């Protein structure tokens, strides 16, 4: 079965990405704000994740751990200024913990050989083009190539969320190599790390297809973004409205409340 691309093209959503699909399924107001209204939110927590990966990359590329961490902090600060996040209540916490996240990642990854970073993965599902970028491609035991997605968090999960499982299953299918997830967690000033392997990949594959079909059906009902807006009602109890006042302003601009 192949789906018509017209509903996706109408709203400039091609190629699809996992983040777009996930946002559509789990947070339709957020999907509308980000991908239809085109407002890109950010936070110090999001910047922490970006620059923790950057620090690890720089160490792989030859910087010392100390210099790689300093470089990450420099760009974290620079990005915070550029994105007007200086008043984010978690700015100091994320900045102070950034070296600990990097240290945790490097402790686990230093044993491997670096191969690639942010490699684009392209594919088609039901005739719909998708794209995404993997984190690190590494080599172990001299000749075994695998990919690892780095996750930084303030809490260690007991298992991978369905969302992350879906994302990594997609990357496993497109790259045809083993994909793992590595968590580096900083809680109360202490760092812990944990590796996760993928499970239930066949279930995830079916869910991924259903997500695309659901989005296609929804978009097909909408002539324009005004039509789409009428089909979405924001949940005013969602935590994001209290966390990011800018997103709340955009919500009020779109829906009037």
Question: pLDDT tens across 188-242, in order?
Answer: 999 999 999 987 777 778 888 999 999 999 999 999 999 999 999 999 998 888 7
Write out the two tokens for 79.
């990005």
Residue 245: predicted pLDDT: 81
The separation between the first and the last C-alpha atoms of the chain, rounded to the nearest angstrom, is: 41
Local confidence band at 47 (pLDDT 50, 70, 90 cut-offs): very high
Is residue 234, in this structure, part of any structural domain at all? no
Looking at the domain assignment, is residue 216 inside a domain? yes
Question: Which tokens go with 207?
Answer: 């869910």
CA distance 119 to 137: 8
The answer to whether residue 73 is domain-embedded is: no
Task: Return the residue matching tokens 């100390």.
Answer: 66
The structure tokens listed for 149 are 């997605």
- Please write the tens of the pLDDT for every residue from 94-131: 999 999 999 999 999 999 999 999 999 999 999 999 99
Greatest pairwise CA separation for the chain in angstroms: 59
Q: Is the pLDDT of residue 80 over 90?
A: yes
- The answer to whether the beta carbons of residues 232 and 32 sit under 8 Å apart is yes
Token pair for 177: 């190599």
Residue 218 lies in a domain: yes
Q: Does residue 48 fall inside a structural domain?
A: no
- Tokens representing 132? 């995404």
Q: Is residue 169 part of a domain?
A: yes
Tell me, yes or no, whether 241 lies in a domain: no
- Comparing CA positions, the residue from 248, 162, 250, 176 lying closest to residue 206 is 162
Locate 118 and state its tokens: 């942010």
On whether residue 125 sits in a domain, the answer given is: yes
Residues in the chain, total: 257
- What's the CA gap between 198 and 195, in Å, rounded? 10
Domain boundaries, position 186: 1-37+115-223
* Tokens (6 digits) for 216: 């296609």
Task: Report pLDDT for 155.
Answer: 96
Q: What is the pTM of this model?
A: 0.92
User: What's the total number of domains in the chain?
Assistant: 1
**Are the C-beta atoms of 172 and 178 separated by less than 8 Å?**
yes
Residue 148 in tokens: 């690892």
Q: Are 29 and 235 in contact (CB under 8 A)?
A: yes
């Amino acid at each position: 079965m192949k789906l018509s691309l017209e509903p996706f093209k109408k709203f400039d959503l091609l190629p699809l990405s996992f983040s777009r699909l996930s946002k559509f399924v789990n947070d339709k107001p957020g999907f509308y704000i980000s991908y239809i209204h085109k407002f890109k939110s950010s936070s110090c927590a999001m910047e922490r994740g970006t620059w923790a990966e950057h620090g690890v990359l720089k160490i792989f590329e030859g910087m010392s751990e100390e210099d790689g961490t300093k470089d990450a902090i420099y760009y974290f600060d620079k990005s915070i200024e550029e994105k007007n996040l200086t008043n984010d209540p978690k700015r100091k916490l994320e900045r102070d913990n950034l070296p600990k996240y990097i240290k945790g990642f490097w402790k686990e990854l230093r044993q491997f050989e670096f191969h690639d970073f942010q490699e684009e993965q392209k594919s088609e599902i039901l005739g719909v083009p998708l794209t995404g970028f993997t984190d690190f491609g590494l080599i172990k035991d001299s000749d075994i190539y695998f990919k690892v997605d780095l996750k930084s968090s303030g809490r260690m999960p007991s298992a991978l969320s369905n969302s992350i499982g879906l994302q990594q299953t997609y990357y496993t299918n497109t790259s045809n190599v083993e994909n793992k997830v590595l968590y580096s967690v900083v809680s109360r000033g202490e760092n812990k790390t944990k590796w996760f392997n993928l499970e239930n990949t066949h279930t995830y594959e079916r869910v991924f297809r259903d997500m695309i079909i659901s989005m296609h059906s929804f978009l097909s009902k909408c002539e324009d973004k005004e039509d789409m807006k009428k089909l979405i009602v924001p949940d005013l109890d969602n935590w994001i409205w209290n966390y990011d006042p800018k997103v709340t302003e955009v919500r009020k601009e779109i829906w009037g409340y």
